[in-house]
Structure 1
Amino acid sequence: MERIIGHIDMDAFFASVEERDKPYLKGLPVIVGADPENGNGRGVVSTANYEARKLGIHSALPITKAWEYCEASRSSGGLRCVFITSGFSRYKIASCDVFAHVRTFVRTLSQTSIDEAYLDLGFCGSFVKAEKLAAKIMREVKKKTSLTCSIGIGPNKMIAKIASNYNKPAGLTIVTPERMGAFLAPLSIRAIPGIGKKTENAFVRLGIKTVKDLQECSWEDLQQQFGKREFSIWERVCGVDERTVEAQKAKRKSIGKNHTFNTDTRDINEVLDIIKQQIEVILREMKKQGFNEFRTVVLTVRFSDFMTRTRTLTLDTPIHTAIDFELKATKLVFPFFEKAENPTGKAIRLIGVRAEKLLQDKPH
């Protein structure tokens, strides 16, 4: 079977979740990270959306620098930047939703971070079929979560990861074994995993700036300059990576279900009926997975304008019955039908229920 590996990478994930959940942010530079404290903050940028990246703001940039760039842009007539100090619980929920959908398309998925995963696409049988499947995954993720992702496909994990970053956002890049050399050659050596700023600077001092420059060096030359440890870099610039996609066996920490209404609704009884159905599905899935109770209920509402709100309830006494689950979920959803939480009476587009902090059956 031909070796075909995909790498899915969500686009500006944290910032994209914020834009999705707060539609008024669309078009504005959005920076998720530490509090800038009017230019005196400590810490770094976690994620910047693509509007913010146009200003030179990127992940790991000191938050004070991000503030400086934003102030410089605003003083010259640019848009006001929005700094957000993170809503990690919502990002976790969004990640669970995304990869739950992706898992329905593949046999083996290995999630490496909150917004990235490798996919074993060998079962597709060809790169052409793998490309069609990847395009379908991208469409489904966008349709179900209102978030975009980029996917790279290659003969190994390294090529797939580089390819997923090649044409962002919402890009699909295919690198067949025959095209691998031509794909890698013009790239900056920094594109190769394992080459950081320090190593890059050492190579640049030798006149090596691109992968092609590095490919034209012999391993003996590299060994003389950098020692035996550089053999792994030599392998990577030649496109060698024997790592496989291993299915994760970690226990699930949450089980949830989302429902998008055919028509946006203001009918609380319709919403409660759906919640009841979702709870039945969640409890069945919990039992199948070997869980019999849980401590946290998460309820998500997406309104007709795509504004998304999440409420969470964590209990000292675990929930183990459908009635208890329904009571807690109902308690969480009612405020969204009241003026304090929903002053303009917006209709609901999506309702999501999730059980977290799952507890397994105790052995008898």
Structure 2
Amino acid sequence: MTQARIIFHLDMNCFYASVEQALNPTLKGKAIAVAGNPKERRGILVTCSYEARAKGVYTTMPVWEAKQKCPEIILLPPNFDAYRRASKSMFDLLRSYTHLVEPVSIDEGYMDVTEIVHGSEAIQLAEKIQMQLKEELDLPCSIGIAPNKFLAKTASDMKKPMGITVLRKRQVPQILWPLKTIEMHGVGASTAKKLATYSIETIGDLAQKTEKEMHQWMGKNGVRLWEKAHGIDRRQVDPEAIYDIKSVGNSMTSAVDLVEMRDVVEMVQKLSEKVAKRLRAKNLAGTTLQIQMRTSDWQNKTRSITFKNGIYEQQDIEREALKLVRKHWNFEPLRLMGVTVSHVYNRREAAEQLSIFNYAEHAKEEPVLKLVEQLQRKYGKNSLQKGVSIAKNPDYTAQTSFSKDFLDDH
């Protein structure tokens, strides 16, 4: 009989706010919040302390509303360098127990501790890790313990702050089935709405459907949801998964609503520059470009275009993004713009496709390539390489709190 896996999901509690309180102990016990830009009318809270939450304040709440609900709230600008350092220290600590650590964001990750603990020892280990993070880094966390990643993630959300929760597969009908589908990890508002069209309101309703029905209605995603409703998740804890970047994007909220094309063009230019800079730093290109437009009444519109060859240069991103804007923007006031390049791949590893337009260029290179091949045979394969890659340190000053560039630290 195969031994059940023992998976931890660690979720740092109010991470940015906790880092600020660790750096400045005078902030402990006070209502604090980190805001994208506290001075802008459109500024929103990136995170807030539990003291602020007790007053009705929550993440993504506009700054002006947070001040109304909690006049004594202390607003702080983001300090991403500090958060990245704290994140790295946190994951270094986790890796001191096992190499099977998978970061999934700056403040959460999975551990597979199957090989280092047995049975009830898992709770003791979780307590030890939780206390060590608190004592050494002054950072609180919640830990979910389960036989797979989905259940571990679900468990860590059940008790905050400083909670440790065990969720067993046999408990799924009792604990998860009564919940609304929107409360299932991985189900957003649009998916919940689609499930409702099939009379699926709760996780239990989803579990009562057949796997065949879910595949027929929602394809592979429907099957994955059905499996989760039964507590099934076959994903392994993969330390290498952090390098699987699927998209690179940036968004920006305007201090005033955008109603003129020239202002939208200026914002698209800034966003395209940021996206291109990050793509170049990571040697990536992508075959799909998407724009996001959020109106002053919070209506979201996304439009995309796909290319045969990947793009990564600023002028290409900017040109295609503006084409989409001109085609789909109806001049309704905009509060936010976003530009994303997705379906990305490593430009260094991608084989260039020869075509009627570039074969001559490669023909010119042939004598040089033959010489390189001869030298490599004589002195070794790595003695000469086409092109030299120089590591770049990305500029994080323009990053958003939702950027995954912290993963470069790993």
Which residue matches 1:41?
A: 42
Which residue matches 1:217?
A: 209
1:8 corresponds to which letter in structure 2? Answer: L
Inter-CA distance 229–8: structure 2 relative to 1 (3 Å threshold): closer
Inter-CA distance 66–98: structure 2 relative to 1 (3 Å threshold): same
- Deviation, 1:208, is 3.6
* d(CA) in 1 for partners of 2:89, 2:53: 26
Contact kept in structure 2, 1:32 and 1:45, CA below 8 Å: yes
Query: Of 61, 64, 68, which residue of structure 1 is paired with 2:64?
Result: 68
- Deviation, 1:118, is 0.7
Which residue matches 2:89?
A: 97
Which residue matches 1:238?
A: 230
Which SS does the other structure have where 1:122 is aligned?
Answer: coil
Query: Of 6, 9, 15, which residue of structure 1 is paired with 2:8?
Result: 6
* d(CA) in 2 for partners of 1:214, 1:29: 40
Structure 1 residues 272-351: aligned runs within 5 Å: none
What runs of 5+ residues in structure 1 fail to find an aligned partner?
Answer: 252-356, 359-364
Contact kept in structure 2, 1:36 and 1:67, CA below 8 Å: yes
What runs of 5+ residues in structure 2 fail to find an aligned partner?
Answer: 244-407
Structure 1 residues 78-89: aligned runs within 5 Å: 79-89=71-81
* d(CA) in 1 for partners of 2:242, 2:186: 27
- Deviation, 1:88, is 0.7
2:38 corresponds to which letter in structure 1? Answer: P
Contact kept in structure 2, 1:70 and 1:80, CA below 8 Å: no
Contact kept in structure 2, 1:2 and 1:126, CA below 8 Å: no
Inter-CA distance 226–98: structure 2 relative to 1 (3 Å threshold): closer
Q: What do the CA deviations read for 1:258-309 (whole angstroms, capped 9, x no partner)?
A: xxxxxxxxxxxxxxxxxxxxxxxxxxxxxxxxxxxxxxxxxxxxxxxxxxxx
Contact kept in structure 1, 2:140 and 2:162, CA below 8 Å: yes
Structure 1 residues 150-169: aligned runs within 5 Å: 150-169=142-161
Which residue matches 2:136?
A: 144
Which residue matches 1:194?
A: 186
- Deviation, 1:181, is 3.4
Which residue matches 1:323?
A: none
Inter-CA distance 219–48: structure 2 relative to 1 (3 Å threshold): same
Which SS does the other structure have where 2:192 is aligned?
Answer: helix
Which residue matches 2:27?
A: 25
Which residue matches 2:54?
A: 54
- Deviation, 1:37, is 2.1
Higher RCO by CA contacts (8 Å cutoff, separation 6 or greater) = 1
Contact kept in structure 1, 2:38 and 2:76, CA below 8 Å: no
- TM (norm. structure 2) is 0.54
Q: What do the CA deviations read for 1:326-362 (whole angstroms, capped 9, x no partner)?
A: xxxxxxxxxxxxxxxxxxxxxxxxxxxxxxx99xxxx
The reply on whether 1:110 has 2:102 as its aligned counterpart is yes
- Deviation, 1:221, is 4.5
Inter-CA distance 158–224: structure 2 relative to 1 (3 Å threshold): same
Query: Of 14, 17, 21, which residue of structure 2 is paired with 1:15?
Result: 17
* d(CA) in 2 for partners of 1:18, 1:149: 15
Contact kept in structure 2, 1:56 and 1:69, CA below 8 Å: no
2:82 corresponds to which letter in structure 1? Answer: R
